Every structure is written in structure tokens, then in C-alpha cells.
């Protein structure tokens, strides 16, 4: 499939999302009581068209034998550092990344519940046109909280968690208007949260912690409404997105030790994969491995990830390589067609 058709699919899908947001209810905004502060956080109705559930339906038919084909590479020609999350609006590509200026260092024993020093860094949210040209570099974070994670676009706002670069720490949840690029600090939370989605059925935010070992749900004021442990240890989720109705689709990676002949525990193998989670029951719906590789040799689902569906055809965008690796950061497009549901 051509790059033009891929872009057309993405543009059309975003247009559908925007249209759905425009006609859906306003329960979330009414609960917030401030349309400017919470613009775009509309709640989908419980009745959805076939189009709105296309991604969930198609992903439920992805398995280990699904034939993914890489159809394009988009080279980014600016410093991207360590990439984290990606999102697409009608006009922009958003890419989060962390620039490390002082690495963290492990403590001999934990101190105050923390296992390492905070380190230092700069959090970036890069805003690009659809050709990958940098339009704006938005700096996010405060103090020790400089590590952006996986991001999500709700039809109006891009949601970005920026955490300390260590587990059991703290994070800031930001929203960035995708049109004006205005930045609003929504709230702060305890613990490192490295990914976030906005559940458009409830108007609540859902985040995942370091290693995706725990999930939390908040209202728009930052009140934690629920929390649950992740029973799945297949991969650590790096970047997620909302999927109607009340689902969360994530991709990520686990670094596993190699065989003794290949280096043992001193060498690692990158296992990639994707998972869909039900935000109402908190259960895992489906997970599948993904083992295709980037220019620098990373598994493709290592960090930034987004996927759309056009009926039975899936188009996935990933950006696994850092700016100083291989050919630099490239946005890779993979496509696959799944068997239609009977």
C-alpha cells in the first residue's frame, strides 16, 4: 500500500473520531464544570456504530500468524533523544521524548522507598506536520519530573504524563490542545505513570505505572477513583490509546536474558507485543507478540505506537529508535489485513 493511502486512512480515521466527539454527550465537561479547562472531554454514548468499534473488532483477530508488512519509513531530521509516545491529530504528529542530561544511579539499598537517584533531564513534546517537519518543541516537566511517557489524543487534547525517571515516585499529567498547542497542567499524582488514555465513555483518565504493574483511574481533578494490579506479565506497556468502547490498546517490550551461548544474562532479547485491556472489567482481552525490527535493531513496539483500522485492514505507526541510534528516529508504518469476522 502506498504512503498516500496510509496517510488517507489515518486522516479519515481521525476525522471519524473528531466527528464522534462532536456529536457525543457532554457529561464529562459538565462534571468538571469548566468547559475551557476540560474542552474535548466528551463522553461517547453507549451505542456505537460499526465504524467506532472497527479497531477493537480487527485487533481481536490479530494473532501470531498475522502477516505484517512494513510499507514506509519517515525519517525525522531533528534531535529526538529517547522517544516515548506518539499521537496523531488532524493537522499534527505529536512525539514525546526525554533528553537525559544526568543519568540516574542505583542506590546500594533503597532510600525513602526509591531505588535510584532522580537524575536530570528535559521532557519534550515535539509537534510536527504530517511530513515529519518539526513545528514546535514543547518543554514539559518540573524539577525531578522530566520523563514524558506514552501519550494519547482524545479528539481535542493530547494527554502527556511526565514522571520522575524512577519507580514509586511522582508524575504530572498535562493536556495540550492539539490545535492551539496551549499547555495545561491538569494535576499531579503519586507514583511513576508512564502511559495514559482518556476513557471517552466516562470522561476519566487511566494511567499505567513503571513496568505497567499497576493501573489507576482519575477524574479530571486528579481524584483517584480506582486502582488495580496488572495480572499480565507478558510485556511492559510503553504507549497506549483509547479504543471504543472503554478499552485500552497498548504496545511495549520485555527484555529477556539470552541463552548462555548468546551471552546469557549479560545480553538481552527484546520481546515485543500488543495488548487490549477492558477498562470496565479491568481484564485482558487479547495480547499478541510482534517481532519485527527497526533499523537500529530494536523490536518495533519498543516505545511510540499507534494503530488504526479501516474495516479489516490495520495500519500501525511506531518509532522505536532513539535519535542517536541507527539512522536516527524513523516513524515506521506496518500494515496487515485480518480475516473478516463471520
Q: Scanning the structure block, which residue is given the C-alpha cell 483500522? A: 309
Residue with the bigger pLDDT between 199 and 20: it is: 199
* pLDDT of 39: 38
Residues 6+ apart with CB under 8 A from 11: 90
b vs e for 232-246, b when ≥16 Cβ sit within 10 Å of the residue's Cβ? eebbbbbbbbbbbbb
* pLDDT of 334: 98
Question: What gap in Å lies between CA 90 and CA 154, rounded to an integer?
Answer: 12
The DSSP secondary-structure symbol of 293 reads B
With CA atoms as reference, report the closest residue to 237 among 246, 249, 225: 249
CB 269 within 8 A of CB 257: yes
* pLDDT of 294: 97
Ramachandran sector of residue 112 (left: φ over 0; alpha: ψ -120 to 50; beta: rest): left
Res 159 pLDDT > 80: yes
pLDDT digits (tens, 9 = 90+) for 186-209: 999 999 999 999 999 999 999 999
Question: What gap in Å lies between CA 105 and CA 278, rounded to an integer?
Answer: 36
Q: Which helix (H) or strand (E) holds 29?
A: helix 27-32
With CA atoms as reference, report the closest residue to 62 among 334, 267, 274: 274
Q: Which three cell numbers stand for residue 128?
A: 510536527
Q: Which three cell numbers stand for residue 240?
A: 497506549
Q: Scanning the structure block, which residue is given the C-alpha cell 508488512? A: 69
* pLDDT of 40: 37
Question: What gap in Å lies between CA 200 and CA 197, rounded to an integer?
Answer: 9
* pLDDT of 64: 95
Mean pLDDT score of the chain, rounded to an integer? 88
Domains of the chain, residue spans: 3-337
SS (H, E, C) 207-232: EEEHHHCEEEEECCCCCEEEEEECCC
Give the global pTM.
Answer: 0.85
- CATH fold for domain 3-337: Neuraminidase (2.120.10)
Question: Does residue 245 have a cis peptide bond before it, meaning omega lies within 30 degrees of 0?
Answer: yes
Q: How many CB atoms lie within 10 A of CB 35?
A: 12
Which is it for strands 145-148 and 134-140: parallel, antiparallel or unpaired? unpaired
* Least confident piece of the model among 30-34, 118-122, 127-131, 322-326: 30-34
CB 276 within 8 A of CB 270: no
Question: What gap in Å lies between CA 129 and CA 156, rounded to an integer?
Answer: 17
Ramachandran sector of residue 202 (left: φ over 0; alpha: ψ -120 to 50; beta: rest): alpha
With CA atoms as reference, report the closest residue to 195 among 230, 171, 176: 171
Question: What gap in Å lies between CA 333 and CA 307, rounded to an integer?
Answer: 10
pLDDT band at 5 (very low <50, low <70, confident <90, very high): very low
pLDDT digits (tens, 9 = 90+) for 40-95: 333 333 333 334 799 999 999 999 999 999 999 999 999 999 999 999 999 999 99
Q: Is the dihedral of CA 80, 85, 88, 94 positive or negative?
A: negative
Amino acid at each position: 500500500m502506498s504512503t498516500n493511502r496510509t496517510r488517507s486512512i489515518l486522516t479519515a480515521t481521525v476525522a471519524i473520531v473528531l466527528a464522534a466527539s462532536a456529536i457525543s454527550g457532554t457529561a464529562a465537561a459538565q462534571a468538571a464544570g469548566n468547559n475551557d479547562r476540560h474542552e474535548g472531554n466528551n463522553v461517547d454514548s453507549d451505542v456505537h456504530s460499526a465504524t467506532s468499534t472497527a479497531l477493537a473488532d480487527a485487533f481481536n483477530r490479530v494473532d501470531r500468524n498475522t502477516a505484517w508488512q512494513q510499507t514506509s519509513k519517515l525519517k525525522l531530521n531533528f534531535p529526538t533523544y529517547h522517544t516515548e509516545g506518539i499521537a496523531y491529530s488532524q493537522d499534527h504528529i505529536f512525539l514525546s521524548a526525554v533528553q537525559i542530561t544526568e543519568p540516574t544511579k542505583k542506590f546500594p539499598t533503597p532510600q525513602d522507598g526509591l531505588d535510584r537517584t532522580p537524575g536530570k533531564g528535559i521532557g519534550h513534546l515535539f509537534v510536527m506536520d504530517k511530513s515529519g517537519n518539526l513545528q514546535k518543541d514543547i518543554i514539559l516537566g518540573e524539577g525531578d519530573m522530566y520523563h514524558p511517557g506514552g501519550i494519547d489524543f482524545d479528539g481535542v487534547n493530547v494527554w502527556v504524563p511526565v514522571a520522575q525517571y524512577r519507580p514509586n515516585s511522582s508524575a504530572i499529567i498535562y493536556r495540550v490542545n492539539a490545535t492551539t498547542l496551549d499547555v495545561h497542567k491538569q494535576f499531579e499524582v503519586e507514583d511513576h505513570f508512564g502511559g495514559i488514555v482518556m476513557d471517552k465513555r466516562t470522561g476519566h483518565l487511566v494511567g499505567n505505572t513503571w513496568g505497567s504493574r499497576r493501573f489507576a483511574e482519575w477524574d479530571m481533578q486528579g481524584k483517584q477513583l480506582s486502582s488495580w494490579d496488572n495480572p499480565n506479565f507478558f510485556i511492559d506497556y510503553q504507549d497506549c490509546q483509547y479504543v471504543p468502547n472503554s478499552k485500552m490498546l497498548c504496545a511495549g517490550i520485555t527484555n529477556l536474558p539470552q541463552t548462555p551461548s548468546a551471552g546469557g544474562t549479560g545480553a538481552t532479547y527484546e520481546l515485543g507485543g500488543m495488548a487490549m485491556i477492558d477498562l470496565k472489567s479491568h481484564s485482558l482481552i487479547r495480547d499478541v507478540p510482534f517481532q519485527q525490527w527497526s533499523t537500529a535493531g530494536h523490536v518495533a513496539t519498543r516505545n511510540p505506537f499507534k494503530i488504526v483500522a479501516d474495516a479489516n485492514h490495520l495500519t500501525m505507526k511506531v518509532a522505536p529508535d532513539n535519535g542517536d541510534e541507527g539512522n536516527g528516529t524513523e516513524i515506521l508504518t506496518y500494515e496487515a489485513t485480518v480475516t473478516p469476522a463471520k
